[in-house]
Amino acid sequence: MDNQVIIFDTTLRDGEQALASSLSVHEKLQIALAIEQLGVDVMEVGFPVSSPGDFESVQTIAKTVKNSRVCGLARAIEADIKACADSLSVAEQFRIHTFISTSDIHVTQKLKRDFSDVEKMAVSSIKYARQFTDDVEFSCEDAGRTPIDNLCRMVESAINAGATTVNIPDTVGYTLPSEFGDIITQLFNRVPNIDKAIISVHCHNDLGMAVANSMAAVEAGARQVECTINGIGERAGNCSLEEIAMILQTRQNKLQLNTDINHKEIAKTSKLVSELCNMPVQPNKAIVGSNAFSHSSGIHQDGMLKASNTYEIMTPESVGICKTNLNLTSRSGRHVIKHRMASLGYKESDFDLEKLYNDFLTLADKKGQVFDDDLEALVFNINQQSGDDFFQLNTLNVQCGTGDFATASLEIAIGDNHKVSSATGNGPVDAFIQAVKQAIDFEFKVEDYKISNKGSGADGLGKAAIEVSWNSRRFHGYGIETDIVKASALALIDALNSIHLAQTVYKLKNNEEFQCRA
């Protein structure tokens, strides 16, 4: 049996069906070109008969993509197949993918026919599609719930009619991996002409088993996997392309299977799809989640510093991510703090590790995650025995009504000086930020701002987290208050104090005059 697994990407067809609003033709083309660069064998890019917009996008992609086979979807209806052929005819290589339901519940309740009628429709549609191309895929919709005798019969008929790929979907994500693998095994054992076509699988994730079912099918002999970037798709989504690709890559010694995927393009493609589809990737998502190569446990971090393969079965670089992240939390050990300080350019003689670690734990318990600028501030405070923060919020008054604008008035202590300022903004937090910018003499930019609830009830604590940039560096601030506006203000002041400490450290290192003034 061939050891090459064909990767069939359906991000722009099944994946797009999950979006709140359709992608533009230009956005679809961007994704298609990224998927081509990723090295997929086949990309299903739309359902041409569904709308003029889908027809146009399929045709545009078909004209542009050269290295991947472009595919369109069609029901077992001649008008659908003709629309597919018309939109794809400009492609250098294309496939028509037609389908019909085969499970009892779909045949009797949705199609309201008997199985023999459905079989005839399938055969007729495949033969019609073969008039336009010699690459025709046929799908048995809801194959996972189709009686095995009927499924074997349909697959044999489809191959005899000219289907070069036969797809076995777990349409509703119901089948267990052991059951799905057994379905594929039975097809190989019972369908006499099975060697004349490639067996494909298309698994949904309703019970979280899409990737596991796809792998069970591959181990049973399937040689095409239908999947999407980030696993997006109908309901709970599809088999994740990046997961199936990295399983085959990482366990190649066991599976002895290959793909043509350019693995170093995975992270970039994932990010593009996430941004254009407005579907954030969950942090703990395998392969491409922000935590996929992050380590917070002190034991894990210590192991990673000694040998990365103690806790990483693949490198972040292998999927196009720059490096592993060792998150600094209260679970991080002294060795990790020492290593991080060295990476920031500090010698052991520059700080007292025991004092730094104790102060770090206190801060980590308060903030959760500690960043590099926080560590530098802690070192500065220990060495300088500094007292109060340089920036302190003395008073804050905010006025806002039902309109868009709010006004903030504040008094802020800047070292030994005091500054009064007021400004308007688009909401109370923006008004406060503008007032602070008027009060200080250096520029900063708010890059990210988040609020979260830290307690229950109307009087629960609110936590604000802010990220600001200054001098090409990022600084983080946090504030916790029952008043979320005040929490946001304290978070900004916290970030500004981090900037002040960074400026001070820089000036002391370079023996220059300090620049933060009222």
In our burial notation (b when 16+ CB lie closer than 10 A, e otherwise), range 372-386 reads bbbbbbbbbeeeeee
Range from 196-210, 218-232, 298-312 carrying the lowest mean pLDDT: 298-312
Instruction: For residue 368, give every residue at least 6 positions away whose Cβ sits within 8 Å of its Cβ, in sequence order, or none.
Output: 329
Tokens 């003689």, residue located? 349
Q: How confident is the model at residue 299 (pLDDT cuts 50, 70, 90)?
A: low
Q: From the annotation, which residues make up the binding site?
A: 14, 202, 204, 238
**518, pLDDT greater than 50:** no
Q: Is pLDDT at 488 greater than 70 in this prediction?
A: yes
- pLDDT, average across residues 199-203: 99
Q: Is residue 516 part of a domain?
A: no
More confident residue, 40 or 379: 40
Q: Which residue has the higher pLDDT, 454 or 221?
A: 221
Average the pLDDT over 287-313 and give the result. 66
- Whether the pLDDT of residue 323 is over 70: the answer is no
Q: What is the pLDDT of residue 516?
A: 46
pLDDT at residue 382 tops 70: no
pLDDT > 80? residue 324: no
Residues 24 and 113 in one domain: yes
Selection from 26, 17, 19, 67 nearest residue 47 by Cα: 17
pTM for this model (two decimals) = 0.69
Q: Which of the pair, 502 or 2, is modelled with greater confidence?
A: 2
- Span 74-87, average pLDDT: 98
Which of the 8 DSSP states describes residue 348? G
Residue 289, domain member (yes or no): no
Within a domain: 286 = no
Both 126 and 217 in a single domain?
yes
Provide, rounded to the nearest whole percent, the portion of the chain with pLDDT above 70.
87
Query: How many C-beta neighbours within 10 Å does residue 226 have?
Result: 30
Confidence of residue 297 (pLDDT cuts 50, 70, 90): low
Report how far residue 399's alpha carbon sits from residue 425's, in angstroms, rounded to the nearest whole number.
Answer: 11
CA distance 8 to 199: 12
Final residue of a domain: which of 380, 403, 438? 380
User: Residues 448-465: pLDDT tens digits?
Assistant: 998 876 544 455 557 788
Over the stretch 15-69, which tens digit does the pLDDT of each residue have? Answer: 999 898 889 999 999 999 999 999 999 999 999 999 999 999 999 999 999 999 9
Residues 73 and 217 in one domain: yes
3-state secondary structure 110-124: HCCCCHHHHHHHHHH
| 484 domain residue, yes or no | yes
131 and 256 both lie in a single domain? yes
Binding site listing for Mn(2+): 14, 202, 204, 238
Same domain, 157 and 45: yes
> What gap in Å lies between CA 230 and CA 281, rounded to an integer?
7
Same domain, 96 and 185: yes
pLDDT of residue 512: 52
pLDDT value, residue 234: 92
Identity of residue 33 = L
Of 351, 380, 409, which closes a domain? 380
> Which residue has better confidence, 452 or 288?
288
What is the edge-to-edge ordering of all strands in the sheet holding 406-414? 391-400, 406-414, 417-425
Same domain for 345 and 226: no
The answer to whether 406 and 430 are in contact (CB under 8 A) is: yes
The domain spanning residue 45 has which CATH number? 3.20.20.70
DSSP state of 107: I
Report the number of distinct structural domains present in the chain: 3
For 77, residues 6+ apart whose C-beta sits below 8 A from its C-beta are 125
> What band does 513 get if pLDDT is binned at 50, 70 and 90?
very low
Task: Specify the DSSP element, H or E, that contains 166.
Answer: strand 165-170
Whose CA is closest to 335, among 366, 297, 309, 368?
A: 297
Asked whether residue 252 falls in the same domain as residue 105, the answer is yes
Residue 31 to residue 54: CA distance in whole angstroms: 15
Range of the structural domain that residue 144 is part of: 6-277
Residues 35 and 129 in one domain: yes
What pLDDT is attached to residue 95?
99
Q: Is 290 among the domain residues?
A: no
pLDDT of 374 > 80? The answer is: no
H or E element in which residue 252 lies: helix 252-255
Give the start-end residues of each E strand in 248-322. 294-295
As a whole number, mean pLDDT of residues 407-423 equals 91
Question: What pLDDT, on a 0 to 100 scale, did the predictor assign at position 477?
Answer: 86
pLDDT, averaged across the chain: 88
Mean pLDDT of 414-424: 91
pLDDT range class, residue 74, cuts 50, 70, 90: very high
Same domain, 255 and 210: yes
pLDDT band at 517 (very low <50, low <70, confident <90, very high): very low
Residues recorded for the chain: 518
Query: Above 60 in pLDDT, residue 385?
Result: no
Among 335, 350, 380, residue at a domain's last position: 380
pLDDT tens digits, 190-200: 999 999 999 99
Q: Is 517 part of a structural domain of the chain?
A: no
Q: Return the pLDDT at 340.
A: 77
Pair (88, 20) in one structural domain:
yes
pLDDT tens for 113-164 read: 999 999 999 999 999 999 999 999 999 999 999 999 999 999 999 999 999 9
Would you state the pLDDT for residue 295?
Answer: 53
Residues 368 and 396 in one domain: no
Note the pLDDT of residue 300: 62
Kindly state whether residue 328 falls inside one of the protein's structural domains.
Answer: yes
Output the domain CATH number for residue 457: 3.30.160.270
In a domain, 348, yes or no: yes
